[in-house]
Amino acid sequence: MTPSPPPSVVRTLDTNVVVRLLIGDDPQQTPIAEKAFLEAIASGGVFLPDVVLAEVGWVLRGHALDRLTRHRLLERLVRTRGVVVEDIDAVIDALENFRQGGDLADHLILARASRAGALPVLSFDQRFSCHQDVELLGAIAPGEPQPGNPP
């Protein structure tokens, strides 16, 4: 009788593992990250939550990589066979908008809000509010009552 194959298990990679994998900047951790990634793909796949993608996008800024290179690294990663993200269409939209400018985390928020039908996104971020579906909230002037607090 032939033994049955082990059950398929999807694993989640933390931000630091993904950064080692993409940048290869640590001679001790990089081979461990590469091995863990390959083993996870072989055993069922790798799940990358939006928060990991947003953190990786942020961390890569500190590695002197231009925006196009960061975009290519992230897009290649999420399109790798065996890599699973929460909503591939939203992630690809966010990455495309990121390639053109702005913050990846903001673009992920906007893409996910759009797919959920939860627009506009309310923000204090003036740069982010240049997007059609983002509404800039005004600052409350000193002495004005806070929302929910009567004058």
The 10s digit of each residue's pLDDT in 95-143 is: 999 999 999 999 999 999 999 999 999 999 999 999 999 999 996 655 6
| Mean of per-residue pLDDT scores for the chain | 91
Helices 50-61 and 88-100: crossing angle in degrees, nearest 10, is: 20
So what CATH class is 11-136?
Answer: alpha beta
The 10s digit of each residue's pLDDT in 40-74 is: 999 999 999 999 999 999 999 999 999 999 999 99
**All residues at 6 or more sequence positions from 125 whose CB lies less than 8 Å from its CB, including other chains:** 106, 134, 136
**122 pairs with which residues across the strands?**
135
Element (H, E) at 46: strand 46-48
**Per-residue confidence band for 8, with pLDDT thresholds at 50, 70 and 90:** confident
Domain boundaries, the chain: 11-136
